[in-house]
Amino acid sequence: MNHKQRPLGSGFTAASTAKEVIAGIDLADKNVIITGGHTGIGLEVTRALAGAGASVTTVSRNPDRAERALAGIGNVEADRLDLLDPASIDAFAARRLETGRPLHLLINNASVPSPARRTVDARGYEVQFATNHLGHFQLTLGLLPALRAARGARVVNVTSGAQRLSGIHWDNLHFATDYEPTMAYAQSKTANVLFAVELDRRWAQAGIRGYATHPGIVVGTGLNGAAGEESLRAMGLIDESGRPVIDPERERKTPRQGAATVVFAATSPLLADIGGIYLRNSDISELDDEPKAFDPRHPNSTVTSHSIDPESARRLWRRSEELLASPRARRFPGAVGAP
C-alpha cells in the first residue's frame, strides 16, 4: 500500500514533554478548541497551547467543573458540549460560528472509558463509537466554516495504539452481538485514525490537515483509571504501592509526556506539508503489519494498514454521514445505558 507512514527524525523521544515539543513556537492570534481539555492529557495540552499564546476553548459536559480545573491558566475559556448529544454539538458549533473567529486548531481529545456491558445511546449507537468517533465527526463538520476561515488549520484526533487490535466491524458496528469492551474501544480508536486520513484527503486543498496521535499510556486519567487497581497492577502500570510506573520506552508516560505527541501534531512546522498520518512519540509512526500477540506489559503502538486504508477511510466517512442523517440521530439521546 502506498502510504506516508515514515518517521521524520523529529529529534524528540518517547520521554519528550509537551513543553519541550512546543518550545519556540508562537501561537499568538491562534484559536483552539479541545474536547476534554480540562483533565488528564487534555489539561496538559491546554496548558502547553495557552502557554504559547493561543486562545483555547475547552468543551465538556460540565463547564463549571472545567473552569475550576483550569483556574490559573490564562487564555482559556470553558463551554458546554456533550459528544453524545447531537443537539448539544450543533448548538456549540452554531455559537462558535456566530463569533466569526477562525479556528486554527481543533483537538478531538475526549474519550469514554470502556463499559463492561454493551452500552448504547438513545439512537442505539454503541457508546464508545458514538463518543470517541461519531461525536467528534459531527463537531468537526459543524466547525468546517471556521476551519476554512483560518486559511491553515489542523484537526488532531487523539487515538490509541489499540487501533492495532481491530478494524471496523462494518456488519456489527454497534456490537449488537458479541460485545467485547476492548474490541469496541479498539474499533473507535481505529475510526479516529481513518477519520484523520479521509479528512486530510478531502480538505487539504482548503488548507485543513488531519492527524491522529497516540499519546502513550498515562495512568491516572479517567480512561484507564476505570480499569481498577488490580488490572492496572497486572498490566504493570502501577507498582505495589499504587504509584504509576513511568517508563516512556514501554509507553508508560506522565501526562506531560503523553500530551507531547498531541502538541507536536498540532504545532510542529515539520508537518506543514504532510497530513493524514498517525503519530507516536512526537514523530510519524512507521507502518508495522507484523502480527504480534497483545501484551499489555510490552505494548506495540505502531500503526497497522487497516487503520490507514484509504478505502476504509472513505467508507467510514460515508457511513458516519449516514448515521448522523438517520431520523433517530437528530433527537436528544438522553441517558445512556445497556439495552
Active-site choice (125, 179, 185, 211): 185
Nearest to 37 by CA among 11, 65, 3: 65
Nearest to 77 by CA among 94, 91, 96, 90: 96
CB 305 within 8 Å of CB 1: yes
What is the helix (H) or strand (E) element at residue 101, kind and residue range?
Answer: none
CB 305 within 8 Å of CB 97: no
DSSP state of 114: P
DSSP readout, 178-191?
Answer: S--HHHHHHHHHHH
**CA–CA dist 268, 288 (Å, integer):** 24
CB 126 within 8 Å of CB 162: no
CB 109 within 8 Å of CB 41: yes
Q: Is 125 a catalytic residue?
A: no
Dig out the grid coordinates for 163 from the structure. Answer: 487501533
For the chain, the 3-state helix, strand and coil shares in percent, each to the nearest 5, are 40, 15, 45
**CA–CA dist 243, 241 (Å, integer):** 6
Residue 278: count of CB within 10 angstroms of its CB: 31
Q: How far apart are the first and last CA of the chain?
A: 40
**CA–CA dist 219, 236 (Å, integer):** 11
Q: Hey, which residues are catalytic here?
A: 185
